[in-house]
Amino acid sequence: MATSPSPSHDSLPPKQQEDNSEPDPTRGQGIPAYKELISTLPSHKGWHPTLLLKYQDFWFPEYILPGIINLQQHFKACPSDLFLMSYPKSGTTWLKALAFATINRNRYQLANHPLLSHNPHDCIPVIDVDFASRIEGMPSPRILQSHCPFSLLPDSIKGSDCRIIYVCRDAKDVMVSDWFFTNRLRRSNEVELVQFGKAFELFCEGICYYGPIWDHVLEYWEESLRRPERVLFLKYEEMLADPAGNLKKLAEFMGCPFSPDEEKDGVVGEIVRLCSLEKLKNLEVNKRSEFIMPHIKFDYGSYFRKGEVGDWRNHMNLEMALRLDGIIREKIGGTGLTLGSVGDSDSSYRQPSS
């Protein structure tokens, strides 16, 4: 970490635009809404607070899809860009905090670190939404984040030398995390809560934000096998088991490895502690703030919950868990990728309390 006085927080992108206005039929969030194309797509009520639209084999919330199409059609990557990619609820917020703290470690002192006063999502822009206004003037290398499936990325990302870091997580824990997140969103937007069983069914059908998860994960996995020097594939469970080891791997991949002196001085541990769930969850900024995407109110607290491996055991019965494992196995079996299964840990399985 920096030892000289911290400069201003000039590596932060401008805040996500808030939009409370009435829907404008010709615009998304400051971008063309691709209204005609979108009107032809299959839709589903799903289990989130907004309608889902199926576009190029994946389901997107209707307020995100214009941003995805815009990204596909107009985004120009720089070879030095670093992309943090994930299926939602797989460790995105944590990865953003770790990457931001690591790349800026000589810029900020711990006592006055931007992560103490900004949510990680405000430190690294989400390019699915409205990239133009948020990334202009960002210093190189730019760190950008998206949940966009690999197959939908523009050629300027897929075909360039920029690096991608993907984090995945056991689909059962993802589903449980998403269910809590969604119901928190529904509650704060005064929408009726969704039952776990209904959400589970739809998740198993792949009908969920950026779903199906198996195709999302598999696309990045296969790309990481094809181009390991350009795509780093991380697992949330492994990061929890060895945060320092995975942070070092991340730093090396990002092109800013920790020096022996930094390791001796405990910099790795400082970043791990700064970005830990306990630390971030208890910060005022992450307890209180809210932000508004078009017509949906979010709160930063909803990004921090338990952060445990195997929380699915408290919510799914064994039959459900085996069913979801079976779907995942069928889809990704034989690829060398595993995503956690009941068999890995069934000695600790217990029925959820009803």
Q: Is 56 left (phi over 0), alpha (psi -120 to 50) or beta?
A: left
> What is the Cα–Cα distance from 154 to 33, expressed in whole angstroms?
18
- Min separation Cβ 261 and ligand PAP, Å: 26
11 binds ligand PAP (CB under 6 A): no
Torsion of CA 299, 55, 168, 224, to 10 degrees: -140
Do residues 125 and 42 make contact, with C-beta atoms less than 8 angstroms apart? no
Q: Which is nearer to ligand PAP, 53 or 280 (CB)?
A: 280
N-to-C CA span, the chain: 47
89 binds ligand PAP (CB under 6 A): yes
Q: Which is nearer to ligand PAP, 78 or 180 (CB)?
A: 180
- Judged by CB under 6 A, the residue of 304, 321, 325, 342 near ligand PAP is 304
Do residues 302 and 185 make contact, with C-beta atoms less than 8 angstroms apart? yes
Instruction: Kindly report the length of the chain.
Output: 354
- Judged by CB under 6 A, the residue of 180, 262, 291, 299 near ligand PAP is 180
Q: How do strand 43-44 and strand 52-55 relate by DSSP bridges?
A: antiparallel
305 binds ligand PAP (CB under 6 A): yes
- Min separation Cβ 205 and ligand PAP, Å: 20
Do residues 294 and 67 make contact, with C-beta atoms less than 8 angstroms apart? no
Q: Which is nearer to ligand PAP, 315 or 331 (CB)?
A: 315
List 238's β-bridge partners, or say none.
none
- Judged by CB under 6 A, the residue of 41, 110, 256, 277 near ligand PAP is 277
- Min separation Cβ 85 and ligand PAP, Å: 10
Q: Quickly count: other Cβ atoms within 10 Å of residue 283's Cβ.
A: 17
Annotated active-site residue 147? The verdict is yes
Taking the CA atoms of the chain, what radius of gyration do you get in angstroms? 20
> What is the Cα–Cα distance from 163 to 143, expressed in whole angstroms?
10
Which range in 90-98, 187-195, 223-231, 327-335 contacts ligand PAP by CB under 6 A?
A: 90-98
- Per-position b or e across 246-258, b if 16+ CB within 10 A of its CB: bbbbbbebbebeb
Tokens of 47: 């289990």
166 binds ligand PAP (CB under 6 A): no
349 binds ligand PAP (CB under 6 A): no
Q: Which is nearer to ligand PAP, 225 or 241 (CB)?
A: 241
Do residues 51 and 42 make contact, with C-beta atoms less than 8 angstroms apart? no
Total residues at interface with ligand PAP (CB under 6 A): 22
Which range in 11-19, 38-46, 269-277, 287-295 contacts ligand PAP by CB under 6 A?
A: 269-277
- Min separation Cβ 292 and ligand PAP, Å: 16
Q: Which is nearer to ligand PAP, 9 or 279 (CB)?
A: 279
Residue with tokens 């899809």: 65
Candidate list 118, 121, 147, 216, residue with the active-site label: 147
- Min separation Cβ 212 and ligand PAP, Å: 16
Q: Which residues bind ligand PAP (CB under 6 A)?
A: 86, 88-94, 97, 173, 177, 180, 275-277, 280, 303-307, 311
**Catalytic sites, residue numbers:** 147
